[in-house]
Structure 1
Amino acid sequence: MRVTGSGKPRLRSAVLAEAWTRISGVEVLSAGDGGPLTRTVKKVIDPLVVRTAARPRLGRPLLEPAAAAELTGLLVADAARLRATAAWFTHLKRQRRALRITAGDVQDVCFPLAYELATGFGMPGPDAPETAASALRELHGEGSEAGAARLTAYLADPRVAADLTAEIHRRWHTAAAAGLAPADAVALLGEFAENLADATWRVLAESGAGHAFGLALRRPGGTAALAVPGLAGLGLQRGDRTAVPPLRRSDETGPELLERSVERRVRATLRRLPADEREPVAGLVADELARVAAGFGLGRPALATCFALGVVLAPALRPLDGDAPGSAPGFARELNARIAREGYVLHARRALAGTTPLTPRPDPGLVRELREFARQFLGRLWIRLHGFDVRADLPAGAADVRDLVSGVVRSTSLDLRTKVRRALVARLPDLEAVS
């Protein structure tokens, strides 16, 4: 790259335009003056090539010579994929017309989608029209399998995987709490769990309590440092601190909520969002990286606080043990009493306390699920809140928070009741024989 002898800062737009002229075959992504289109910068170069979220120094209007050289290097190094992006955009635009799709601006929708296809497939081949049409149909309303396949292809690219992994670690280790001590966050959450007042919720929602609580779990000995009884047994993480979630994981079977891979989270987003509301996969991944860095993996502070409330309540949700401890928050005692009165819970308690089996043949998995009600509840709560985060939904006040938590407890209880009922009905003849 040409750097003036004076070493003065240069306009970023000029650096981009100069670097862009070194890349051939990108005319459809270019403006009349030969530089990149504004939408090319906004939808492809900044979020996907340069990744200005991870390299904010390269997104400034004026760049020092070293930053200008780095920006040029990143752009030129991605030249082959940018040429493939331009080629895929042509196919996408043609197939979009053939399918009579009019939703959204063609560049806004198809620029990042073309980059994804370039990442997964390289230059278009003989089957490019069918691939482009399939990608557009999935994006605009036909199932999530194609989106999942594109996600897999996108994350399988070594350079993309390396850049995203580095960005996860950078965001994870630089996330800053909102000035609230974790112990104060727990105290505020406990206060709300006693009175469920709108005024207390407003203080909580504005305090960043959930974010502070979640970040505290990332420190060495995080579970032991927070004064929440039973926190270590809630299945939030594998050790005493939350590990950095991986980009992908081959053994994605563990229950650890806060260490789920980015790929698993984005797959959930593909299932949750209607097709006409989804961004291309690259945008969904970028959104998820921002959530991963936040406390409890939830980007909106109010939602992180809802989950933190669930963590404070969860240890008391032990219906098989009867009443919750008197030291538990009032809301937790109320919820536990409600589910402890369920017929299937009373049956299970009698079975476990006496000689009559819960089912004729021992079912350790079912018994374990009943004993781990708190884990089941937190798993459902996090999934529900992640869905809210994806759709930008927020609870309006204390009543909404109460209804949300109560609804998840009820849903967990109904699911377990159904499992017990099915086991009993399926084995009724054997049960009658041993009773």
Structure 2
Amino acid sequence: MSTATATLPRGLVVARAWAGLGDAVAPLSNGAGRPLTRTVKLILDPLVLRPVLNPEFAAGAVAVEHVDAMRARIADAGPVLAATASWFVVLKKERRRARITEGNPQDLYFQRCFELATEHGAPGRDAASVAAAVLAEVHGQDGPTVAELRGFLTDAANAAALTRLIETTWAAPRPVPSAATMALTEFLASCAAAPDRALFRALVAKSAGTAGAVELDRPGVALAHGLTDRDRPAPPALGESASKRNLPKPFDRSILERLFAPLTNTFLRAGLADVPALVRQEITRSAGPWQLADEVSRVIMALGREASAGLTGRPQAGGAAARLRSRWEREAYVHRVLRMPSAAPPAVRADVRGVREAYVRRLWVRVHGRELRHDTVTAEQVWDVLDGVLRSVILDQRDRLRAALEREAGT
């Protein structure tokens, strides 16, 4: 291999440069002395390496002519990274003192610690008061908390009534719109450039989204859409625990899991209802078409299902579907995985081949979150939602592919 084309795995370059920083960054490192996954995701990539501005640092393999520059970038950031690690220790200590248990400290504090390190350097004599102010800002938002939600759902005094509410709402007959077929494709044809407000209002008024959800109760349909691992949807459990890393597919989530992610975002929960109202609304929502409450949300799900059909099937002619297909086909990692299916890691192959199911799941999460915040989508916003979901799926898949290839290269 010539020098011009020689590369090193990005993870290896980062690990070697990180090792040069020594014990000062141990709070940001794993047991093997490498940077934590969240350290890379929340600190190194966006704040130090900045691959958007330095594309030579972005790929899973770094060309040898850029290796020294990448190592130097990390080494030069050594003092601020060491101060970031020290601030993280201070914030965790103050967190324990304040008996705060909500949220992942790395997610909540890593970037705030980098800001403190940049502004103040290493923690000084006033570090405890500075940390207390940061914690008050992060955790001082109004709104329901996960601890309150879990306590309400697991309280024996509430559980029986809530379980009966689930049974009642799921047993109630569901409306079947008389118009089962609506002009979804007509709206999708122009929504990216010139959305038809009147047509969108008609889709909502005539319950096109509800009509599109009728088949989801049939065996295998919701399973094929990637919304459940069951043959057909079933009533949710109340739930006792939840984890962002291991959330089930949307239709398989407990009431706790359905509300868990929104309540862990301190910036979003301020606008949410109190826990009892939130839980009862979610139980009712879970029994609705698409397991959503608003017809606008259901119409968007039906539009997204229609628009995403071309991602894995026959290309669609024009409109939103063609634009989504074009964005997908421009991704180099997609071509790489499809061209070398035997070489790509199995999970990555599954990502690429199951992109439509991933898209529908992500779209459900987006519109569900909007419902909780009472953030209604207008006709002019539909394309931004549909396109933004695919961008999000692509970013996640690209990161997983890079991580998988780095792991393979490292072994």
Tell me, yes or no, whether TM beats 0.5: yes
Question: CA distance change for structure 1 residues 423 and 242 in 2, over 3 Å: closer, same or farther?
Answer: closer
Aligned to 2:205: 206
Query: What one-letter code is carried by the residue in structure 2 that aligns with 1:409?
Result: L
Alignment of 1:321-336 (within 5 A): 324-326=313-315, 330-336=319-325
TM-aligned CA deviation for residue 285 of structure 1: 0.8
Q: Residues 308 and 329 of structure 1: is their aligned pair in 2 closer, same or farther, counting only changes over 3 Å?
A: farther
Task: Find the aligned partners of 2:358 and 2:190 in 1 and give their Cα distance.
Answer: 25
The equivalent of 1:233 in structure 2 is: 224
Other-structure match for 2:362: 380
Q: C-alpha distance in 2, partners of 1:207/1:195?
A: 20
Matching residue of 2:291:
297
Larger Rg: 1
* Separation of aligned partners in 2, 1:191 and 1:301: 18
Q: State how far apart, in whole Å, the 2-side matches of 1:175 and 1:328 are.
A: 38
2:386 is matched with 405
Shift of 1:422: 3.4
Post-superposition Cα deviations, 1:152-202, rounded to whole Å, max 9, x if no partner, equal: 222122341121111122122225326344x32xx4323333343413222
**Residues 247 and 189 of structure 1: is their aligned pair in 2 closer, same or farther, counting only changes over 3 Å?**
farther
Residue 257 of structure 2 is aligned to residue 264 of structure 1? yes
Match of 2:148 among 147, 150, 153: 150
Alignment of 1:223-372 (within 5 A): 223=221, 232-248=223-239, 253=246, 255-272=248-265, 274-318=268-312, 324-326=313-315, 330-352=319-341, 357-358=343-344, 363-372=345-354
* Number of equivalences: 269
Alignment CA distance shift 1:416-1:165 (3 Å): same
Q: Sort the Cα spacing of 1:405 and 1:327 in 2 relative to 1 into closer, same or farther, 3 A.
A: closer
User: Residue 167 of structure 1 corresponds to which residue in structure 2?
Assistant: 165
Distance in 2, Cα, partners of 1:262 & 1:335: 32
Note the C-alpha offset of 1:260.
Answer: 1.7
Q: Using the TM superposition, give the Cα deviation of residue 215 of structure 1 relative to its aligned residue in structure 2, in angstroms.
A: 4.4
Q: Is the 8 A contact 1:140 1:276 kept in 2?
A: no
Q: Is the 8 A contact 1:175 1:293 kept in 2?
A: no
Distance 1:269 1:189, change over 3 A: same
Q: For 2:366, give the aligned amino acid.
A: R
Deviation per CA, 1:106-160: give whole Å up to 9, x if none: xxxxxxxxxxxxxxxxxxxxxxxxxxxxxxx99982599x922222222122341
Residue 178 of structure 1 contacts residue 212 of structure 1 at CA under 8 Å; is this kept in 2? yes
Aligned counterparts of 1:393 and 1:411: Cα–Cα separation in 2 = 19
8 Å CA contact 2:145–2:264 kept in 1: the answer is no
Aligned partner of 2:187 in structure 1 is: 192
> Whole-Å Cα distance in 2 between the matches of residues 175 and 249 of structure 1?
29
- State the alpha-carbon separation in 1 of the partners of residues 165 and 330 from structure 2: 48
Does the C-alpha gap of structure 1 residues 142 and 400 become closer, same or farther in structure 2, counting only changes over 3 Å? closer
Unaligned ranges ≥5, structure 1: 1-136, 224-230, 319-323, 431-435
Matched to 1:169, the amino acid is E
Matches of 2:324 and 2:392, distance apart in 1: 12
- The answer to whether the Cα contact below 8 Å between 1:151 and 1:263 also exists between their aligned partners in 2 is yes
Check whether the contact 1:140–1:275 (CA below 8 A) recurs between aligned residues.
no
- How far apart, CA to CA, are the structure 1 residues paired with 2:149 and 2:358? 28
Amino acid at match of 1:314: S
TM-score normalised by L of structure 2: 0.57
Give TM-score scaled by structure 1 length.
0.54
How far residue 249 of structure 1 moved from its aligned partner, in angstroms, is 6.8
Return the alpha-carbon distance in structure 1 between the equivalents of residues 236 and 288 of structure 2: 12
If asked which structure has higher relative contact order (CA below 8 Å, sep 6+), I would say 2
Distance (whole Å) between structure 2 residues aligned to residue 343 and residue 414 of structure 1: 12
**Residue-by-residue CA offset, 1:15-51 (whole Å, 9 max, x unaligned):** xxxxxxxxxxxxxxxxxxxxxxxxxxxxxxxxxxxxx
Gaps of 5+ in 2: 1-135
Question: Distance in 2 between the 1:175 and 1:263 partners?
Answer: 25
* 1:423 is aligned to 2:407: no
Q: Secondary structure at the match of 1:383?
A: helix
Deviation at residue 385 of structure 1 after TM alignment:
0.8
Quick one: structure 1 residues 344 and 382, their matched pair in 2 at CA, closer, same or farther if it must change by over 3 Å?
A: same
CA distance in 1 between counterparts of 2:215 and 2:408 reads 47
Change (3 A) 1:222 1:416: closer
Matches for 1:45-64 after TM superposition, within 5 Å: none
Check whether the contact 2:223–2:232 (CA below 8 A) recurs between aligned residues.
Answer: no
CA distance in 2, matches of 1:238, 1:275: 29
SS at structure 2 position matched to 1:217: helix
CA distance in 1, matches of 2:383, 2:206: 19
Deviation of 1:330 after TM superposition, in Å, equals: 4.6
Local SS of the residue matching 1:248: coil
Tell me, yes or no, if the aligned pair for 1:141 and 1:275 is still in contact at 8 Å. Answer: no
